[in-house]
Structure 1
Amino acid sequence: MTMMMMSLTTSLPYPIQILLVFILSMASITLLGRILSSPPKTKDRSRQLPPGPPGWPILGNLPELIMTRPRHKYFDHAMKGLKPEIACFNFAGTHAIIINSDEIAREAFKERDADFADRPNLFNMRTIGGNHKSMGNSPYGEQFMKMKRVITTELMSVKTLNMLVAARTIEADNLLAYLHSMYQRSETADVREFSRVYGYAVTMRLLFGRRHVTKDNAFSDEGRLGKAEKDHLDAIFETLNCLPSFSPADYLEKWFRGWNIDGQEERVRVYCNKVRSYNNPIIDERVELWREKGGKAAVEDWIDTFITLKDENGKYLITPDEIKAQCVEFSIAAIDNPANNLEWTLAEMLKNPEILKKALKELDEVVGRDRLVQESDIANLNYLKACCRETFRVHPSAHYVPPHVARQDTTLGGYFIPKGSHIHVGRPTLGRSSKIWKDPLVYKPERHLEGDGISKEISLVETEMRFVSFGTGRRGCVGVKVGTIMMVIMLARFLQGFNWKLDPGYGPLSLEEDDALLMAKPLLLSVEPRLAPNLYPKFRS
């Protein structure tokens, strides 16, 4: 073992050598006890861990994880492309369970949902969630239940969502105004850039009742981001990118908290603080207005709703710190999915013109060309929603579902799952599985309309875990309704309002993806109006 360790460490940078030696020497007593307490091999599969690669004594598979970049590729590399339905990795005594089967995913998040409703207690999640004050990053318990209940029954209620229709419509109009101004200036449209602007503006409207984060309206008349808003949006995405880190400190936090292993602690702290530096002054000002100065004439946005809620004793239900933590979480959860889905959907439509023709035909039949598509039309735009579903299937926005944690010893797929195991469901492996889908790499929206689908409204939610769109179960996404609205309206307005073709300087259209599952080459298009000039709105701040 000593020779193996020397061979391993001499190929690594000196700080990593120190790290591995320190882990081996300082963590052995604690972690050896965990390993020795693991269930012995037995013919009874329910007491066996899922299959996985062999590991080092004490450290398990952690050294290989440290050496692999990007780390999400380690799981495929370690199993040599086999992609078993369920696999187990040992990271210094913490078991990471990788699920690549829709049947086992359904078992985890439907049949045994209560067993896997916890979250890992990781630095990144604690930082983003304000030390477990938000809903999504909190452990399963009283705080999680309180925040989920408030968000579900108040913020995402029909009453509140209807109250905010006008705010969302302003940004749907602003999207057209933004794109029309590009046409007037003969500018190329960067799909990723303007779709993120739209998602950001809608999110700010819902949260704060305005699309700008500074007191002066920093957006230009065409709808471009101002300096502060661009800085805010960049920080939101950088914070989001900190979540799937698979850092060594995630599994040895007791020993290495504060060491800033791989720079992850500093990174999430810096970017999360930047997001808060824009959010918090707005929240502080609004809390003072409602709780000290008598408030406004009416509740107008999500922050107002949070601030004014009271319990049965007349005490304020949500603290300012809880509001601040939840606002960070809302910010990082609301923007990437619609933007990623739109870019890939448009790319697939341009690659497959017949799909684009069918989408336009549906828009012309349901809406026509003498008015703009509205939220009330979404129920009847089944082909567009089928396109969004197919994009979720083929081009997910992340490699894994946010990790769950086993709350007790249990089983999955007939295998033993120890309490404290981290559960990771692979998004691409489900959506692109030949065991689940016929011709899985072929982009075919019609597969979501087969059977009874044509006669009923199509949902973007995939409850059977054949692919992942929005989370399901106790940890499921509470923003499905608003997420669906943002996604479908952006795509519908984009297609209804303009004719599109690749920018002349773009080159051949490639559907290659980068390590983050984004289009490796951002989609650049030329824009041309498709409707009468009087239908294009003016920008509204």
Structure 2
Amino acid sequence: MKNNTSSISSPFLTLPWGVTPDWAATSLGGTLISFSQPTTALLILVSLLLIVQFRSELMIHKKSRVAPAPLPPGPAPWPIVGSIPELFRKKPVFRWILGLMKEMNTEIACFRFGSVHVIPVTCPEIAREVLKKQDAIFASRPITMGTEYSSRGFLSIAVAPWGDQWKKMRRVVASEVINPARLRWLLEKRREEADNLVYYVYNQCTSGAIVDVRVAVRQYSANVIRKMMFNKRYLGEGRMDGGPGVEEREYVDALFTVLSLLYAFCVSDYMPSWRRIDLNGHEKIMKEAIKIVYKYHDPIIDERIQEWREGKKKEAQDLLDVLISVKESNGKPLLSTEEIKAQVADLIYAAVDNPSNAVEWALAEMINQPEMLQKATEEIERVVGKERFVQESDIPELNYVKACCREAFRLHPIAPFNLPHVSNADTTVTGYFIPKGSHVLLSRIGLGRNPKVWDDPLKFKPERHLKDPSVEVDLVESELRFISFSTGRRGCIGATLGSAMTVMLLARLLQGFSWGVPPGESRIELNESITDLFLAKPLLAHAKPRLPVYAYPIQ
């Protein structure tokens, strides 16, 4: 007699136990169903979590009042879990969301994940209503696994929910850390890293002429903020050619991993009771990346704090010293050690990705359109000449170079969405009901590539930002036609620093070197990565010095 046996398993679950299970069997409707003990335990756990989620949703519905308007359009959600299954089936999730919005011909939509309404927006007018007209309502951040780790429990400014801790840290950062006087104070450290960038690329030219631009631009961004924060370029022994060592590469890779998981459509971010299962595997990856970051940060911070306590250090030389030396009215340190460590990491995360991504894309686009390279270098020579390298004081007059940076931010943003804004109350946006607790995501892609706003939106055209020659080009887009540094209460405090870093990075590369495609190739492939918005392959380009030898830095 044939045994009608089948196994029940979940396509989304990987058993964490590394043991061979004892088998048991039970009968269901005449079919013999096999279970392992760990699988049975897991199924029971999932069932209990679903019950908890269902009861939670019932309580939310009981407390909520009748919606004054319909929700934005979106896919019909499953009971209890909403569109959670699509987080596994539709990867990357951001492409599914934006693709579905395009199919639905809507610029605002609603996706329910668990009990959370996620509201993506691709229209500048709607974005302005969220971040300008109703900025106070949308001034909070969601609590996510990624942001909990990155901020040591929501102690830093960027990802903390609205509340006293956010207000405290914002006050400290705005008044003591990122202000015009402080940026002027740290100007020499930024100049040193701009010189080191040129030195490193120059050495790459003489040794082979093919430059890995991604390595160079990410190194520069990390070096600038590391020099400003810790007063040091290298975390290890360093390299004679000015490039990153093993430690710096490991460190920067970890930073980018952390950034990729801050808001990564993780199941537990919408159904917190499921977090212990780590269905996406995100938490394991985040733990490993954070461990690397803290491996390099914590010893430096702990040692510096001890130096201040013992009186060995009395004068601030970098931003870490500033954070340590901030005092309460009674003379005691204002920030705890954990707050200092959280805010140090927060500022570093904020500085490394946006400038490097924008410049890598801008240079790739410009190499394919050599007339842009010529126009930019001519502008730099007109303003700066050939006897010295461009400095931050030259930036106001480099409108075309800034237009290239601005166009890179528009067409090639660092992330699909900006950091989520959470509604503190029920509200209505453009006629749609937005429930309290909703996550509003402004789409950097949807805004920057919106054909209703931009002519020929998929073409790299810096000239579109130069319509009025009498107006200085600004990398910040206050009208939210694209997002470079956001705006409103939760806008980027470091927009001035980020702008200076971006322009200096591109200007130094253009002024110091002639760029072209590698031998044997006709153009740079401008394909976007499937999983994110970086170039699918790191930019490798042919470079050669274009200034007199004596102009280049010597170390």
Question: Which TM-score band applies after superposition, normalised by the shorter structure?
Answer: over 0.9
Q: Is it true that 1:94 corresponds to 2:116 in the alignment?
A: yes
1:444, CA displacement in angstroms?
1.2
2:23 corresponds in structure 1 to none
Task: Find the partner of 2:55 among 29, 44, 48.
Answer: 29
1:155-212 Cα distance to aligned partner (Å, 9 max, x none): 1122211111111111111111101111221241011011111111111101001112
Q: Is it true that 1:273 corresponds to 2:272 in the alignment?
A: no
Q: Is it true that 1:126 corresponds to 2:148 in the alignment?
A: yes
Distance 1:354 1:99 in 2: 35
Q: Is it true that 1:311 corresponds to 2:310 in the alignment?
A: no
1:35, CA displacement in angstroms?
4.5
Task: Find the partner of 2:311 among 262, 280, 293.
Answer: 293
CA contact (8 A) 2:108 2:123 kept: yes
1:50/1:38 CA distance change after superposition, 3 Å: farther
Q: Is it true that 1:456 corresponds to 2:457 in the alignment?
A: no
Distance 2:113 2:420 in 1: 15
1:111, CA displacement in angstroms?
1.1
1:6 corresponds in structure 2 to none
1:290, CA displacement in angstroms?
1.2
Matched to 1:164, the amino acid is L
CA contact (8 A) 1:338 1:487 kept: yes
1:104, CA displacement in angstroms?
0.7
Q: Is it true that 1:521 corresponds to 2:537 in the alignment?
A: yes
1:495 corresponds in structure 2 to 510
Task: Find the partner of 2:103 among 73, 78, 81.
Answer: 81
Distance 1:206 1:306 in 2: 12
Matched to 2:386, the amino acid is R
1:412/1:432 CA distance change after superposition, 3 Å: same
Task: Find the partner of 2:376 among 359, 362, 370.
Answer: 359
Instruction: With the length of structure 2 as denominator, give the TM-score of the two structures.
Output: 0.90
1:107 corresponds in structure 2 to 129
Distance 1:505 1:25 in 2: 61
Distance 1:272 1:11 in 2: 30
1:236, CA displacement in angstroms?
1.0
Matched to 1:295, the amino acid is K
1:257, CA displacement in angstroms?
2.9
Q: Is it true that 1:245 corresponds to 2:264 in the alignment?
A: yes
1:319, CA displacement in angstroms?
1.5
Matched to 2:305, the amino acid is V
Distance 1:76 1:387 in 2: 26
1:79/1:455 CA distance change after superposition, 3 Å: closer
Moved more, 87-96 or 62-71: 62-71
Matched to 2:505, the amino acid is M
1:73-125 Cα distance to aligned partner (Å, 9 max, x none): 23135446335111111112111111111001001111111100101111211
1:521/1:15 CA distance change after superposition, 3 Å: closer
1:288-320 Cα distance to aligned partner (Å, 9 max, x none): 111222414x31110011111112221211221
| SS of residue in 1 equivalent to 2:360 | helix
Distance 1:228 1:160 in 2: 28
Distance 1:456 1:272 in 2: 43
Distance 2:347 2:235 in 1: 15
| SS of residue in 2 equivalent to 1:474 | coil
Matched to 2:54, the amino acid is S
CA contact (8 A) 1:258 1:265 kept: no
Matched to 2:11, the amino acid is L
1:497, CA displacement in angstroms?
0.6
Q: Is it true that 1:170 corresponds to 2:187 in the alignment?
A: no
Distance 1:69 1:89 in 2: 15
Distance 2:168 2:52 in 1: 39
Matched to 1:333, the amino acid is A
Q: Is it true that 1:422 corresponds to 2:439 in the alignment?
A: yes
Distance 1:260 1:507 in 2: 45
1:10, CA displacement in angstroms?
7.9
Runs of 4+, deviation exceeding 6 Å: none
1:360, CA displacement in angstroms?
1.2
Distance 2:436 2:514 in 1: 54
Distance 2:244 2:514 in 1: 24
Moved more, 345-354 or 396-405: 345-354
Moved more, 125-134 or 80-89: 80-89
1:333/1:392 CA distance change after superposition, 3 Å: same
Moved more, 48-57 or 21-30: 21-30
Distance 2:60 2:11 in 1: 27
| SS of residue in 1 equivalent to 2:543 | strand
| SS of residue in 2 equivalent to 1:499 | strand
CA contact (8 A) 2:404 2:462 kept: yes
| SS of residue in 1 equivalent to 2:356 | helix
Task: Find the partner of 1:191 among 192, 213, 218.
Answer: 213
1:245/1:78 CA distance change after superposition, 3 Å: same
| SS of residue in 2 equivalent to 1:279 | helix
Q: Is it true that 1:56 corresponds to 2:78 in the alignment?
A: yes
1:275/1:285 CA distance change after superposition, 3 Å: same
Distance 1:12 1:242 in 2: 22
Moved more, 55-64 or 483-492: 55-64
1:213, CA displacement in angstroms?
2.3
Query: What do you get for the CA RMSD once the two structures are aligned?
Result: 2.0
Distance 2:326 2:47 in 1: 52
Q: Is it true that 1:532 corresponds to 2:534 in the alignment?
A: no
Moved more, 281-290 or 265-274: 265-274
Task: Find the partner of 1:393 among 398, 410, 421.
Answer: 410
2:20 corresponds in structure 1 to none
Distance 2:274 2:411 in 1: 38
1:490, CA displacement in angstroms?
0.8
CA contact (8 A) 1:76 1:82 kept: no
Q: Is it true that 1:147 corresponds to 2:164 in the alignment?
A: no
Distance 2:447 2:10 in 1: 35
CA contact (8 A) 2:142 2:422 kept: yes
| SS of residue in 1 equivalent to 2:120 | strand
CA contact (8 A) 2:141 2:162 kept: yes
Distance 2:338 2:520 in 1: 49
Task: Find the partner of 1:482 among 474, 478, 497.
Answer: 497
1:47, CA displacement in angstroms?
2.2
1:464/1:79 CA distance change after superposition, 3 Å: closer
Q: Is it true that 1:384 corresponds to 2:383 in the alignment?
A: no
1:3 corresponds in structure 2 to none
Q: Is it true that 1:12 corresponds to 2:4 in the alignment?
A: no
Matched to 2:57, the amino acid is L
| SS of residue in 1 equivalent to 2:109 | strand
2:22 corresponds in structure 1 to none
Distance 1:483 1:328 in 2: 16
Task: Find the partner of 2:282 among 245, 252, 264.
Answer: 264
1:489/1:21 CA distance change after superposition, 3 Å: same
Instruction: With the length of structure 1 as denominator, give the TM-score of the two structures.
Output: 0.92
| SS of residue in 1 equivalent to 2:327 | coil
CA contact (8 A) 2:415 2:533 kept: yes
Q: Is it true that 1:220 corresponds to 2:235 in the alignment?
A: no
Task: Find the partner of 1:332 among 349, 358, 375.
Answer: 349
The alignment of Structure 1 onto Structure 2 pairs a total of residues equal to 520
CA contact (8 A) 2:49 2:274 kept: no
Task: Map residues 59-70 of structure 1 onto 2, 5 A cutoff.
Answer: 59-70=81-92
